[in-house]
């Protein structure tokens, strides 16, 4: 399920003020209600770490919550 998109930008996009928006995912902590948008690069790192521990079960990984310092942040699927 990992997607790799680390190709360099083609030169003809360099004069745009902003590049393509990064893919971000809404995460929420069920314990303290903290919400944050997580860049897909961070998701990739979290999946890699989970795979390294042999705990990866597929789908979106849980992330550490800055509010309660636990691995409690879960991905909130949003309707488009
Ligand atoms: Zn929390």
Residue 13: HSE in the Cβ half-sphere, 13 Å Cα cutoff: 7
Q: How far does residue 38's CA lie from ligand 1's centre (Å)?
A: 15
| Residue 71 near residue 63, CB atoms below 8 Å | yes
Q: How far does residue 76's CA lie from ligand 1's centre (Å)?
A: 14
Give the domain extent around 69: 23-75
Q: How far does residue 67's CA lie from ligand 1's centre (Å)?
A: 4
Asked if residue 10 belongs to a domain, the reply is: no
DSSP 31: T
pLDDT at site 22: 76
| Residue 76 near residue 28, CB atoms below 8 Å | yes
Asked if residue 13 belongs to a domain, the reply is: no
pLDDT at 30 over 90: yes
Asked if residue 1 belongs to a domain, the reply is: no
Asked if residue 4 belongs to a domain, the reply is: no
pLDDT at site 1: 56
Instruction: Give me the count of residues in the chain.
Output: 80
pLDDT tens digits, 5-27: 666 655 555 566 667 777 899 99
pLDDT tens digits, 38-77: 999 999 999 999 999 999 999 999 999 999 999 999 999 9
| Residue 25 near residue 60, CB atoms below 8 Å | yes
Asked if residue 57 belongs to a domain, the reply is: yes
Distance in angstroms (rounded) separating the CA atoms of residues 4 and 6: 6
């Amino acid at each position: 399920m990992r997607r790799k998109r680390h190709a360099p930008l083609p030169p003809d996009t360099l004069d745009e003020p902003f590049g393509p928006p990064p893919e971000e995912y809404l995460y929420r902590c069920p314990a303290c209600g903290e919400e944050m948008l997580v860049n897909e690069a961070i998701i990739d790192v979290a999946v890699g770490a989970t795979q390294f521990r042999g705990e990866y079960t597929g789908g979106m990984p849980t992330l550490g919550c800055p509010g309660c310092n636990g691995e409690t942040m879960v991905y909130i699927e949003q309707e488009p």
